Amino acid sequence: MNNEVVWDEFLIDQKVTYTLELNGKLFVIKNVPARVNIETGEQFFSPKTVDRLQQIVGMEQQPVQTMTLPVYEFTN
């Protein structure tokens, strides 16, 4: 049996929120199409989607929403 076929059985199409920290800036991009593993939650993006994400971050478009959020330090 082909492993790719078995792996694909655990993936569903979903819209996700993608976050990226780059050069001290936090980018949050909502409603990104992804294939999501239903067991692990791992997200997979098509090459076209990755290109669009890079375009959004690179151009620093005007955001549709601004968020204020707390930032925590992970300590032992």
Distances (CA, A) of 40 to 7, 20, 45, 49, 72: 12, 20, 15, 21, 25
Strand ranges inside 23-62, DSSP E: 25-37, 43-44
pLDDT band, very low/low/confident/very high, at 9 (cuts 50, 70, 90) = confident
pLDDT band, very low/low/confident/very high, at 6 (cuts 50, 70, 90) = low
Residue 55 in domain: yes
Residue 42 in domain: yes
Q: The domain that contains 31 carries what CATH number? A: 3.10.20
- Give the global pTM: 0.78
Q: What is the pLDDT of residues 25-37, one digit of tens each?
A: 899 999 999 999 9
Report the C-alpha gap between 44 and 14 in whole angstroms.
Answer: 10
Residue 32 in domain: yes
Report the C-alpha gap between 66 and 69 in whole angstroms.
Answer: 10
Q: Please report the pLDDT score of residue 60 as a whole number.
A: 73
How confident is the prediction for the chain on average, in pLDDT? Answer: 88
The answer to whether the beta carbons of residues 70 and 33 sit under 8 Å apart is no
Residue 41 belongs to domain spanning = 3-59
Number of domains in the chain: 1
